[in-house]
Amino acid sequence: MGNKRISELQIEVNPQISDLIPIASNGTSKRTTLGSVVNAEFPATFSDTTITGSLGISGNINGAPNLVTTSSFNSYTASHSPIAFTRSNNAVLIDSPTPIIVTDMSTSPNLGTYIVNFNSQFTVDDTSSQTAQAKTDLIALYNQLNAMTASGDETNRGVNSTTYGNETLGPGVYIQTAATNITGTLTLNGTSDDLFVFRTAGAFSTSTFAEVILSGGAVSNNVWFVAEGTATTGADSNISGSLLANQAASSTGARAKLQGRVFSVTGAPSIDTSILSAPTGTINSYLSLGSLDLFNIFCGTGAPSNAGASTVQLSVGTNTGAITGFQTATVGGSIVPAGAGTLSIFRVGVYVDGVLIQDSLRSTSKPFEAEHFEFPIVLQTVTTITQGQTIDIRGYSEIGIQTIGPRMSLVLTPIMGGLPE
């Protein structure tokens, strides 16, 4: 082991003095409120993380030369961990809609705060129709929601309570056998991971000026109104959550606001001078949106339409049918007609013990012309690791098939002192 330097060491001057004097490695201290130390020596031996030895000090501190002469120490634990580094020449096929660990891109560093860097490239192996994939994802989403059994506050309300409103409900699955509506204000209280599912064998609707508001950290990505019949919101309503009609149309009324999505498996979604924004939060791990994450409005079979000066933050699409009326709307995403969008879409991110670091996630979207070309992937984030935790890179495919690699590296660089508070 070669020689190592200590850039700075803090020692206690005297048991009666609470201040610490920082001693520089060249033997000259930095001035403090107590004064300065003229000379310092430390004949010490140390490894990467510990130091043993004694420190001799002489000098004058505020005119009192006898305050300090020598300080001994037996162990000093370093305040940082070494760099963690792993690299690989393997190639990893990404063909799963659920995250899979990229081979060899996993490490368990010492506790500490790290800058995480991942560098590699990916190749598009196969592409498929964006709208065909979205229809497949929509059917899968409906099946997931339809398979849920009643739970939560619904067991106390009773299955005959088909009208909701002017009440606060906790997370759960609320199932009705007849037409269901919301009137007044419905408050949904829960955490960011809690699901709120309102499902009916009939139609779903809200009254004029109805509201669905969230509290306690609940997010609109986890609020779903699912109907076998039509799913509609009334004029001037303000709804946090998404509509999903299975065998009929879904729609928003005039001047309605909806923080969510308007989906129909078979049926035509429509909006009227409405404002549709992206839902908040991360969707519960029980559900999977897949490529539907890109859309505010989508149907498997049907013709989406708009009337008036609506605003749609995300994309509008259909797998079968025409899209009309959106020339008068402001659409933040894309208008995706039936059969269009032959793409490869996948996502890759940094995970700690299987939990995604949200700001590390990167999405890539490439057209079919990009097949067999290489494109770079660069991820960077900052995270704090406790002893025994594992950090890894995971990827998943939304559309098509991709390969990451073969050249890749994962580097964790420690931050001295951790993150600022």
Task: Give pLDDT tens digits for 245-280.
Answer: 999 999 999 999 999 999 999 999 999 999 999 999
Query: For residue 32, what pLDDT is reported?
Result: 35
Q: So what's the pLDDT on residue 157?
A: 55
For residue 336, give the nearest of 184, 174, 46, 134 by alpha carbon. Answer: 134
Let me know whether 288 and 212 are in one domain: yes
Q: Outline where DSSP puts E strands in 267-373.
A: 270-272, 275-277, 295-301, 305-307, 311-312, 315-318, 330-331, 335-336, 342-352, 355-356, 362-367
How many structural domains does the chain have? Answer: 3
Task: Look up the CATH number of the domain holding residue 114.
Answer: 2.60.120.760
| Lowest mean pLDDT segment, chosen from 6-10, 214-218, 280-284, 324-328 | 6-10
Both 223 and 256 in one domain: the answer is yes
96: containing domain: 84-127+343-414
What percent of the chain is modeled with pLDDT above 70?
Answer: 72
**Do 218 and 332 belong together in one domain?**
yes
- The rounded mean pLDDT for the chain is 79
Residues 281 and 332 placed together within one structural domain of the fold: yes
The answer to whether residue 419 is domain-embedded is no
pLDDT at 291: 85
* Shared domain check, 67 and 47: yes
pLDDT band for position 91 (cuts 50, 70, 90): confident
Mark 235-263 as b/e (b = at least 16 C-beta within 10 Å).
Answer: bebbbbbbbbbbebbbbbbbbbbbbbbbb
Where is the domain boundary, 336, 365, 394? 336
CB 112, CB 352: distance < 8 Å: no
**218 shares its domain with 231:** yes
Q: What value does the mean pLDDT take over residues 23-50?
A: 37
More confident residue, 65 or 416: 416
Same structural domain for residues 393 and 245? no
CB 222 within 8 A of CB 183: no
Task: Tell me what the mean pLDDT of segment 108-119 comes to.
Answer: 91
For residue 193, with 0-12 CB atoms within 10 Å meaning exposed, 13-18 middle and 19 or more buried, which class applies?
A: middle
pLDDT of residue 23 exceeding 80, the answer is no
pLDDT of residue 161: 75
pLDDT tens-place string over residues 315-369 = 999 999 999 999 999 999 888 888 765 666 788 999 999 999 988 988 877 665 5
Residue 33's pLDDT band (boundaries 50, 70, 90)?
Answer: very low
Say if residue 139 is in the same domain as residue 158: yes
Q: Is the domain of 35 the same as that of 163?
A: no
> Does 420 fall in a domain?
no
115 shares its domain with 135: no
3 found inside a domain: no
Domain edge (last residue) among 310, 336, 362: 336
Q: Are residues 186 and 273 in the same domain?
A: yes
- Categorize the per-residue pLDDT at 290 as very low, low, confident or very high, splitting at 50, 70 and 90: confident
In this structure, the answer to whether residues 253 and 227 fall within a common structural domain is yes
Residue 31 has pLDDT above 80, yes or no: no
Whether the Cβ atoms of residue 124 and residue 371 lie closer than 8 Å to each other: yes
Average pLDDT estimate for 44-53? 38
Residue 191 forms part of a structural domain? yes
Whether 410 is in a domain gets the answer: yes
Bridge partners (DSSP) of residue 8 are 24
Cα distance between residue 229 and residue 233, in whole Å: 13
| Percent of the chain surpassing pLDDT 90 | 51
Domain boundary among 336, 355, 381: 336
Q: Is residue 1 part of a domain?
A: no
Is 178 part of a structural domain of the chain?
yes
**Hey, what are 166's tokens?**
């002017």
Q: How far is CA 3 from CA 44, 46, 48, in A?
A: 11, 9, 11
Tell me, yes or no, whether 114 lies in a domain: yes
